[in-house]
Amino acid sequence: MTNPRQLAFIALRNVHKGAYADVALDRVLQKVNLPDNDRRLVTELIYGSVRRQRTLDTLIDQLAKKKSHQQPQDLRTILHLGFYQLRYQERIPASAAVNTTVQLAKENGFSGLTGFVNGLLRQYLREAGEQGGRGGEKKNSLLLPQSPVPSPQSPVHHFAPLQLPENSVERLGILHSFPDWIIQVWLEQLDFEETEQLCEWMNQSPTIDLRINPLRTSIEEVEAALQSVGILVRRIPHLPQALRFIGNTGSIQKLPGFKEGWWTIQDSSAQLVSHLLDPQPGEVIIDVCAAPGGKTTHIAELMADKGKIWACDRTSSRLRKLQENSQRLNLQSIQMYTGDSRQFNQFQNTADRVLLDAPCSGLGTMHRHADARWRQTPESVRELSVLQKELLTHTSTFVKPGGVLVYATCTLHPAENEEVISAFLAESPDWQIESPAGFELPEFVRSTPQGWFKVWPHQQDMDGFFIVRLRKTNNSE
């Protein structure tokens, strides 16, 4: 079976049963040999339908007699695929989107409801046509050209039939497909306009960045090698090892320099973290939540592979990925240690620097993980913040007096970031925030008045991150 829409339907059915979207996608793609454009379509339909789930459900609620949650689950999934193509895929002709969705219904146990499916999608198109054409997110934006920061009462440009409530949290949540609680967290930190820009950014397909390995090659050599096979990249200012792919890459593993260990995949904001740690040759470094090892291998490169890095993680299977990467990059300074860092006592006062890249809700990387917005909850964030505080309190004892600890997360939730650091500093008089020396930070990475760093994706066009560098005073016991 090589029908991209049927493959997307099978994967989405598994997602609704609890599978992770990326795992469900891999599972269906492994079973078939599809041309690249069909693989891209399957990927887009799966990730897009998961991301836009709330908006798509709202369309069903507004157009059908039965609400989305009352529809049979498989039929709801088929309608998601149809509406996703009509609303967000302008390159797919409307007739093709409707006909293929009707066909999906016929082939998956709903032959008696093909008229309903056809009628619902055509009703959407009729209403969209009356209001100015097929509506994507930009056309249905809450922001008006005349009003840079609209109030929740501002009129809405309806280019597609989506009725939005007046409450600004719900409006953003329905239009951009996020749970209300996430919108609320962002509105507490940003104004309305910036929150909408962040929502739009998170709904884009993610870019792919790489990090060159300066122990094996140069950035110029990698650029030339990729250019020789028609792959375009661009540099990222102030990140000396970073390149961003432009356009489609095909299989990453087949690109020149990958097998040779010239480079590895790592988002540019994650590369910032190791630069802020600023490891030096000959030091002892502990990476306490290391797997899958992007930052660990970066630390080794920055130390010229001289010194010792203890890479700790609870999960041995995830550490295997780190082992594969360090072998491919030909790095010798990394030693693995399996277990929960909160239980380790053997590292007390042994490290020059510690990296705590803490487990977090990942709200800064939701564009990469289509289903993360539906998996995390305020309760899961509370549990994570407890874990983060425990990890920070215990692993800070690994640092020698005078040493450095960098705390980093890829989330944008204050309960996992600012509140964790503030609570730690209140209980730890021998620790203080310090500005990094020795690395010229990109201009956009502005330290806040408190001294921590935040990368906002819609401003910097990279994953959302929180990073703070802490120094243990010399007179610490």
Which residue numbers are catalytic?
Answer: 410
CB of 299 closer than 8 Å to CB of 266 = no
Stated length of the chain: 477
Specify whether the CB–CB gap between 303 and 247 falls below 8 A: no
**Nearest-angstrom CA–CA distance, 348 and 105:** 61
**How far is it, in rounded angstroms, from Cα 84 to Cα 404?**
48
Q: SS3 of 338, please?
A: strand
Instruction: Give CA–CA dist 7/433, Å, rounded.
Output: 50
- The torsion angles phi and psi of 335, rounded to 5 degrees, stand at -120, 135
Distance CA 225, CA 243 (A): 13
Cα 315-410-289 angle, rounded to 5 deg? 25
> Residue 387 burial (CB < 10 Å; 0-12/13-18/19+)?
middle
The token pair at 206 is 């993610």
Give the per-residue SS3 of 94-142: HHHHHHHHHHHHHHCCCHHHHHHHHHHHHHHHHHHHHCCCCCCCCCCCC
CB 301 within 8 A of CB 266: no
Helix 418-427 vs helix 378-395: crossing angle, to nearest 10: 40
State the DSSP code for 443. T
- Any bridge partners for residue 475, and if so which? none
Tokens of 291: 């797997």
Alpha-carbon gap, residue 331 to 300, rounded angstroms: 7
Cite the beta strand spans of 153-192 per DSSP E. Answer: none
Tally of CA atoms within 13 A in the half-sphere of 147 that contains its CB: 14
Tokens, residue 299: 């630390």
Find the helix or strand (DSSP H, E) in which 401 lies.
strand 399-409
Please report how the helices 73-88 and 53-63 are oriented relative to each other, as an axis angle in degrees rounded to 10. Answer: 100
C-alpha span between 235 and 8 (Å, rounded): 34
In the DSSP assignment, the letter for residue 438 is: S
